[in-house]
Every structure is written in C-alpha cells, then in structure tokens.
Amino acid sequence: MSRFKAVIFDLDGVITDTAHYHYLAWKELAESQGVHFDHEFNERLKGIDRMGSLDLILASAAHQRQYTPEEKLALADTKNKHYQELISTMSSKDLLPGAVEALDTVRRAGLRIGLASVSKNAFTVLERLGITDKFDYVVDAATIARGKPDPEIFLKAARELGVAPADCLGVEDAVAGVTAIKAAGMFALGIGHPFVLTEADVVITSLKEFNLAAY
C-alpha cells in the first residue's frame, strides 16, 4: 500500500525523450541569431520553459541588442513550428523504457496520475505516444504563469487531482523540476544522476527502476 495518493510525472526525459528534437529546433533558432549552440548550452535549457530558454539564448547573442516582446514571440513561434514538424513523426516507439509499466503500476495501486510538463506541446506528444488516457489530469502549460523551478505547475496538478501536495510523489529529470517538486512540498523522485539531482529524495536512472513500494 503506497503512502502517496497521486504521482505527478514530468514528460520530457521521464516518459519520452524529445530532447533531441528540442535541441535541433533551438540550434537552428540560435544560429539564426548568431549564437553558437551546442549540447553544453542545451543542458542549460533543461526544465526551462520556451520563453525562458529563448531569453538565455538571446542573452548570449554577440550583438546584445534589445528584442521587442513581439520579436521574441515571433522567434519562439518559429522554434515551436520547427519542433512540431519534428515531433509529428513520434509514436509509441518513442516511449522510454519502463514508462508504460510505471504508469500501469501507479494505476493498479489506485493512485491518481498527473502530468506537469512546461511543454505547450505536451497534449500532442501524449497523443502521438498513445498514452493520453493513462492520465487523470494534464496541466495545460499555457495556463501557468511561472515556469519551473517555481512550484506552480505541480501545485496546480495536485489541486486538480484533488490531492494534498504532501500526498504526492513528483517525478522529474531536471534540476529545475526537482526544485519545483520540493518547493511544492512533495516527495521528489529524480530520474538521472544523484550528483546532479541533489535535492531529490530518491534518484533512479530510469523508470525501469520505478518501485512505488520503495518510496
């Protein structure tokens, strides 16, 4: 019997890996603005929402000019359209190992299941993966005012699931995401490396190691 009443998952890097698609789309956008973009730079964007990521990229532009809000929105839209083209080829084969099994384990335990992704394409990705029906509630990132590490998205998921934050297990692969889970007052399960996800209560390498009874 689990001590939790709900499990709230992140999407990218936990259930599926769209990081490569984001990387390609951001790289094209960054280089169009004269910014050198590599995998090291891409790591800085992990867990950050679209506009926050864009700000980091533009802050590295050599010309350091000021962009108007309209210009920023246009650049973000260009990146998103490219990303949407890339993810249109996704299918269930893009689910990470152990993802479906973890979701099914939570369901069999009678717990509620939520998704807290800052991606505004989360609904599309879930549909492409064929797992939309496995979630009781998916936060619409467009309704979130503050991205991770702010706890807003996890608190909203808990509220809509009808579960107190203290009764929730949050699952994240990004430092900003783990910080958000802890700030929300939830138990944090990290996916990755313990020396990176230092705030997490427990860290596993992937959902293949997911063991609800152990947390």
Neighbouring residues of 196: CB distance < 8 A, sequence distance ≥ 6:
175
Residues serving a catalytic function are 10, 12
DSSP state of 65: P
Question: What span, in angstroms and rounded, lies between the C-alpha atoms of 215 and 213?
Answer: 6
Helix (H) or strand (E) holding 191: strand 187-191
Contact 169, 103 (CB under 8 A): no
Contact 163, 112 (CB under 8 A): yes
Instruction: For strands 137-138 and 168-172, give the pairing.
Output: unpaired
Number of helical H runs and strand E runs in the chain:
8, 6
